């Protein structure tokens, strides 16, 4: 027998205690949505996991109203220290239920269990721990003494890191004293709904966290809602642009974390074996479904062939298959739609003259799969060098000098991340200085930490998430003007409903005419 | 350098690869031209390989394979003929309660204990490929290597003459750290010569780098290349007398050198992590690392060994667990 055909080592699904149907989580309760329910499937088997409610505009209204009530009655009045206690409690519960969450994430998303277990879920807990610590120290967030929260945050997150993106959004928002309405992606709602259970377990006051599920129209209704003070979105540049248009001219604050086409630059003096690992981690981590993925490999021409040869050898050892098997390196593509897009762009690569190489691996019959693929002979004009593929596809481009590497790396409408591989410290600093990207990794790739800010240049979005900088997206300086609607509402504190609605209505109409 | 007078195929090849005589300057140019090692990345990769989950049939296969790859070792000042006989008995029948248990690859002893090991093995002395057990001897003023070259060569020749099949030599770490690469090369080349037997065959040479004293991964990589260029058949991490001894990242790094050497020359060099590997769980991580770095063909006694003593009983305990379904205690296993 071949040792390398490791015997199956599947993580047990027994730890999951899923319901057959999930409602919307509004005001601390699961309620049925008014839209048409949809099913969420496992992309590895195409089997149904559960039925999920869909929120229509009345559900969005209810969720935003619940968040507003919670903001005014409890959360904005609570001391930072007490908010911190809730966040610490959530963080501990996330750790306690880590294995369950990891299994659910791999099941719903298709990512390998070793990633959800060793990367996603530990980072989720770390994010809550980190921002829990900030809750009573907002005076030191860089906005002056006594900064104020914004109010209700509408948050829309993508399917590539469902629970981690939830943590990136919810943890800083709550620490800063905001309440949230969050919409997970249509294809990956499961862990957000498990998180709703954790919110209940933690006894968080009702309405502080609301989770509504649905497709794009639900998200559009949420971000366009007149009574939200803040919109945070992570996802595609096209949708981000539409959201920016929606909130333009309103008081709503906006942060966007969008696409990327990161350059991973390998110089000829790079630590070669570690660079190969970094390239693999940069583009094949999470099947390449990473906005900051190192999808453009820029290799110094004098080591190009050696790097490509070693890379192919390494890719041949990657194991594609059941996401719940602990030895799986490459899981399933999240949806048929995404698989089609990856195929389309890969075909375009071949048509435009790039040379395709795909690792040999057995593709399961059911589910959505794409074997790790490298394109060489890629020109900067090829679609696969310009457009975000969001899949396990790497485009390799040669360069001759550091100046050319920088020019090619910056030659993209995106600017989320970049990587530099060299043994020379001074070159790392010199090149990093000239790269226009929000995150630059040196001799590593795809490393995240809650204390480190993350965000993009140009079409990769604006605003920063993580670290002290991430708090600024959810706070305003003490003296800053408060939008009219919340000002009225806040001054009348407990006498909630009526005055707020009247304050909000004219604004909505104004927005309508503008569009 | 007396080594330059010797005509040896390994030496000729080294000259061809280096583009000149293996003196300090040429070796320095070559060894310092090898790409560097990023410590964080190397350790991350090793940790990734260490997280493979080896279960059921794979685990059973792995446990037997580990036993077949062990150099069962005793290297104490207090070693006696009796102790060596006991070690040999354990090597031949690791688990007296289970006849299907494979034998270990070799016993590893000090040079003066070789005759006792050979005598105790009797007809079972031979190539592990034939189901027999080899005798490995540490030599060259093990473990420090601080002695004259003449004594190191005599030490080696004595062990070979007494019947050792394998010689575990130490490099002169002092010379290496001082940049006297030519001297290190020469010593290895000459010890290799001293491994020759009158009948034209030669004992296999394992070169101990003592990675704990070399300190940096860059040094380990350079020393690995140096040892292979000079004609070593195996590169070995440690004596076991210095901490840290074998670690997974260091072993991974040495396997990468062996892989690159094979790509360059077609020759297969062995790797032996020694010291500090005590549990089956750890040993399995090494198997995975070998298989995923150089390939499964390296999982054989002529290309991979564990230098260990207490590891064997843990593997036996796990082995019993896979067959019987429950753990026995240490008292149910023999000590050597």
pLDDT in tens, A253-263: 999 999 999 99
DSSP code for A442? E
Q: Long-range contact list for B286-292, CB < 8 A, 24+ apart?
A: B286/B248, B286/B251, B287/A3, B287/B54, B287/B62, B287/B65, B287/B66, B288/B49, B288/B50, B288/B52, B288/B54, B289/B46, B289/B49, B289/B50, B289/B248, B289/B251, B289/B252, B289/B255, B290/B255, B291/A3, B291/A4, B292/A4, B292/A317, B292/B49
What fold characterizes domain B2-324?
Answer: TIM Barrel (3.20.20)
Q: Mutate which of B40, B41, B45 to disrupt the A interface (most A C-beta within 10 Å)?
A: B41
- State the pLDDT confidence band at A277, using cuts at 50, 70 and 90: very high
- With CA atoms as reference, the chain A residue closest to B287 would be A3
pLDDT for residue B323: 86
Rounded CA separation A282/A284 (Å): 6
User: At a CB cut-off of 8 Å and minimum separation 6, what does A57 contact?
Assistant: A221
Contacts of A273 in chain B (CB under 8 A): 35, 37, 41-42, 45, 256
Tell me, what's the ipTM? Answer: 0.93
Residue A159: its pLDDT value, please?
98
Active-site residue A340, yes or no?
A: no
Q: Looking at the DSSP assignment, which residues form a beta bridge with residue A148?
A: A476
For residue A504, the model assigns a pLDDT of 40
* Contact criterion met (CB < 8 Å) for B296 and A2: yes
pLDDT in tens, B195-205: 999 999 999 99
Respond yes or no: is residue A361 known to be catalytic: no
Report d(CA B26, CA B33) in Å as an integer.
Answer: 11
pTM above 0.90, yes or no: yes
The predicted structure's pLDDT at residue B11: 86
- Using a CB-CB cut-off of 8 Å, the residues of chain A touching B65 are 3
Nearest CA to B163 among B129, B133, B131, B142?
B133
Mean pLDDT score of chain B, rounded to an integer?
95
pLDDT over threshold 60, residue A505:
no
Residue A297 has pLDDT above 60, yes or no: yes
Percentage of the residues of chain B whose pLDDT score is greater than 90: 93
- The confidence band for A501, taking pLDDT boundaries of 50, 70 and 90, is very low
Q: Cβ of A423 under 8 Å from any chain B Cβ?
A: yes
Which pLDDT tens digit goes with each residue over A396-451? 999 999 999 999 999 999 999 999 999 999 999 999 999 999 999 999 999 999 99
* pLDDT at site B330: 87
A215 has pLDDT over 80: yes
Q: In DSSP terms, which residues pair with B110 in a beta bridge?
A: B138
Q: Is B145 left (phi over 0), alpha (psi -120 to 50) or beta?
A: left
What is the β-pairing status of strands A461-462 and A253-257? antiparallel
Amino acid B329: pLDDT: 86
List b or e across B177-210, with b for residues whose CB sees 16 or more CB atoms inside 10 angstroms. Answer: eeebbbbbbbbbbbbbbbbeeeeeebbbbbbbbb
Q: Does the pLDDT at position A45 exceed 90? A: yes
| Predicted pLDDT at A497 | 38
Alpha helices in A181-229 (DSSP H): 190-201, 216-223
Q: What is the pLDDT of residue A507?
A: 40
Contact A273 B51 (CB under 8 A): no
Q: Which two tokens stand for residue B256?
A: 């990468």
Whether the per-residue pLDDT at A281 is higher than 80: the answer is yes
Q: Collapse the DSSP code of A430 into the 3-class scheme (helix H, G, I; strand E, B; otherwise coil) and give the result.
A: helix
Closest residue by Cα to residue A103 from A49, A148, A65 = A49
Q: How far apart are CA B334 and CA B310, in angstroms?
A: 11
Looking at residue A494, what is its pLDDT?
A: 42
Q: Report pLDDT for A484.
A: 62
The set of long-range contacts for B311-314, using a CB threshold of 8 Å and a minimum separation of 24, is B311/B66, B311/B70, B311/B277, B311/B278, B311/B279, B311/B280, B311/B283, B312/B67, B312/B70, B312/B72, B312/B90, B312/B94, B312/B104, B314/B278, B314/B279, B314/B280
How far is Cα B214 from Cα B51, in angstroms, rounded to an integer?
27
What pLDDT digit, counting tens, does each position of A483-497 carry? 665 444 444 444 333
pLDDT (average), residues B80-94: 97
User: DSSP letters of B189-240?
Assistant: HHHHHHTB-TTS-B-EEEEE--HHHH-SHHHHHHHHHHHHHTT-SEEE---S
Which chain A residue shows the shortest CA-CA distance from B49?
A: A327
pLDDT for the residue A490: 42
**pLDDT at residue A498 greater than cutoff 50:** no
Q: How far apart are CA B273 and CA B240, in angstroms?
A: 10
How many whole angstroms separate alpha carbon A309 and alpha carbon B280?
34
A443 contacts chain B (CB < 8 A):
yes
pLDDT band at B10 (very low <50, low <70, confident <90, very high): confident
Spatial CA neighbour of A463 closest among A476, A450, A451, A472? A472
pLDDT tens-place string over residues A94-144: 999 999 999 999 999 999 999 999 999 999 999 999 999 999 999 999 999
Tell which B residues from 229 to 258 touch A, by Cβ distance under 8 Å: 256
Closest CA to A428 of A269, A274, A260, A261: A269
Helix axes B24-31 and B181-194, enclosed angle (nearest 10): 100
Query: Is it true that the peptide bond before B244 is cis, omega within 30 degrees of 0?
Result: yes
- The residues, ordered by sequence, that sit 6+ positions from A243 with a Cβ below 8 Å of its Cβ are A156, A223, A231, A233, A254, A256
CA distances to A253, A257, A464 from A250, rounded to whole Å, are 8, 20, 21
**Distance from C-alpha of A47 to C-alpha of A40, rounded to nearest angstrom:** 9
> Residue B33: is it exposed, middle or buried by C-beta count within 10 angstroms (0-12/13-18/19+)?
exposed
Domain boundaries along the sequence of chain B:
2-324
Q: Give chain B positions within 8 Å (CB) of A269.
A: 35-36
How do the residues of chain A divide into helix, strand and coil, expressed in percent and rounded to 5?
45, 15, 40
pLDDT given for residue A481 in this prediction = 76
CA angle A171, A173, A175 (to 5 degrees): 65
Residue A371 has pLDDT above 60, yes or no: yes
Contact between residue B224 and residue B259 where contact means Cβ atoms under 8 Å apart: no
Per-residue pLDDT, A485: 58
Structure confidence by residue, pLDDT tens digits, B221-248? 999 999 999 999 999 999 999 999 999 9
Cα distance between residue B237 and residue B232, in whole Å: 13
């Amino acid at each position: 027998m071949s040792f390398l055909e490791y015997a199956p080592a599947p993580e047990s699904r027994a730890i999951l205690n899923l319901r057959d149907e999930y409602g919307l989580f509004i005001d601390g309760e699961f309620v049925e949505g008014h839209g048409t329910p949809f099913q969420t499937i496992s992309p590895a088997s195409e089997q149904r996991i559960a039925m999920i409610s869909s929120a229509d505009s009345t559900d969005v209204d209810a969720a935003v109203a619940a968040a507003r009530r919670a903001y005014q009655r409890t959360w904005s009045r609570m001391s930072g220290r007490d908010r911190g206690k809730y966040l610490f409690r959530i963080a501990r519960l996330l750790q306690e239920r880590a294995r369950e969450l990891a299994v659910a994430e791999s099941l719903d998303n298709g990512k390998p269990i070793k990633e959800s277990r060793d990367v996603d879920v530990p980072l989720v807990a770390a994010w809550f721990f980190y921002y829990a610590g900030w809750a009573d120290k907002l005076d030191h967030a860089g906005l002056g003494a006594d900064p104020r929260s914004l109010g209700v945050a509408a948050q829309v997150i993508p399917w590539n890191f469902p629970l981690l993106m939830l943590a990136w959004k919810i943890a800083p928002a709550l620490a800063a004293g905001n309440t949230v309405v969050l919409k997970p992606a249509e294809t990956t709602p499961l862990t957000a709904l498990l998180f709703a259970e954790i919110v209940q377990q933690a006894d968080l006051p009702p309405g502080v966290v609301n989770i509504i599920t649905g497709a794009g129209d639900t998200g559009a209704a949420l971000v366009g809602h007149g009574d939200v003070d803040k919109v945070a979105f992570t996802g595609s540049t096209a949708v981000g642009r539409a959201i920016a248009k929606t909130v333009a001219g309103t008081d709503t604050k906006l942060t966007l974390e969008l696409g990327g086409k990161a350059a991973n630059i390998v110089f000829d003096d790079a630590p070669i074996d570690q660079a190969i690992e970094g390239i693999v981690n940069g583009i094949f981590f999470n099947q390449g479904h990473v906005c900051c993925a190192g999808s453009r490999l820029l290799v110094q021409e004098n080591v190009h062939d050696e790097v490509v040869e070693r890379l192919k050898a390494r890719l041949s050892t990657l194991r594609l298959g059941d996401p719940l098997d602990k030895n799986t390196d490459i899981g399933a593509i999240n949806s048929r739609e995404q698989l089609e897009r990856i195929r389309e762009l890969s075909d375009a690569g071949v048509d435009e003259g790039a040379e395709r190489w795909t690792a040999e691996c057995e593709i399961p019959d059911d589910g959505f799969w794409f074997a790790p693929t490298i394109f060489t002979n890629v020109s900067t004009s090829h679609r696969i060098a310009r457009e975000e593929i969001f899949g396990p596809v790497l485009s390799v481009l040669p360069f001759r000098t550091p100046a050319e590497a920088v020019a090619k790396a910056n030659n993209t409408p995106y600017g989320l991340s970049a990587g530099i591989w060299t043994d020379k410290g001074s070159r790392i600093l010199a090149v990093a200085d000239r790269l226009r990207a929000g995150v630059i990794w040196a001799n590593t790739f795809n490393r995240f930490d809650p204390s480190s800010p993350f965000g993009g240049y140009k079409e990769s979005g604006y605003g920063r998430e993580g670290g002290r900088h991430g708090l600024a997206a959810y706070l305003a300086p003490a003296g800053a003007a408060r939008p009219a609607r919340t000002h009225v509402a806040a001054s009348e504190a407990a006498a909630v409903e009526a005055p707020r609605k009247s304050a909000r209505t004219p604004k909505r109409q104004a927005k309508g005419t503008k569009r | 350098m007396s080594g330059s007078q010797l005509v040896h195929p390994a030496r000729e090849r080294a000259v061809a690869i280096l583009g000149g005589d293996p003196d300090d300057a040429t070796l320095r140019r070559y060894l310092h031209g090898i790409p560097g090692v990023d410590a964080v990345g190397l350790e991350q990769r090793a940790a990734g390989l260490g997280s493979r989950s080896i279960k059921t049939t794979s685990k059973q296969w792995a446990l037997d394979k580990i036993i077949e790859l062990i150099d069962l070792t005793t290297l104490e000042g207090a070693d006696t003929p009796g102790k060596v006989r006991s070690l040999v008995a354990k090597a031949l029948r690791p688990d007296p309660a289970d006849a299907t248990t494979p034998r270990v690859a070799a016993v590893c002893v000090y040079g003066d204990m070789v005759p006792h090991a050979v005598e105790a093995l009797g007809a079972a002395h031979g190539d592990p490929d034939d189901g027999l057990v080899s005798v490995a001897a540490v030599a060259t003023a093990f473990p420090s290597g601080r002695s004259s070259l003449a004594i190191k060569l005599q030490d080696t020749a004595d062990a070979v003459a007494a019947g050792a099949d394998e010689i575990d030599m130490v490099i002169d770490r002092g010379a290496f750290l001082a940049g006297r690469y030519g001297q290190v090369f020469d010593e290895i080349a000459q010890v290799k010569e001293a491994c020759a037997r009158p009948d034209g065959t030669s004992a296999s040479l394992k070169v101990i780098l003592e990675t704990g004293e070399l300190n940096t991964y860059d040094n380990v990589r350079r020393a690995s290349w140096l040892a292979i260029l000079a004609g070593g058949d195996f590169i070995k991490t440690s004596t076991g007398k210095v901490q840290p001894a074998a670690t997974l990242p260091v072993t991974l790094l040495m396997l990468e050198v062996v892989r690159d050497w094979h790509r360059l020359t077609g020759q297969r060099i062995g790797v032996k992590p020694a010291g500090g590997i005590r549990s089956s769980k750890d040993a399995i991580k090494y198997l995975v690392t070998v298989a995923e770095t150089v390939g499964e063909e390296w999982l054989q006694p002529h290309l991979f060994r564990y230098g260990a003593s207490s590891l064997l009983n843990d593997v036996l305990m796990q082995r019993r667990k896979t067959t019987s379904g429950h753990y026995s205690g240490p008292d149910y296993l023999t000590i050597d």
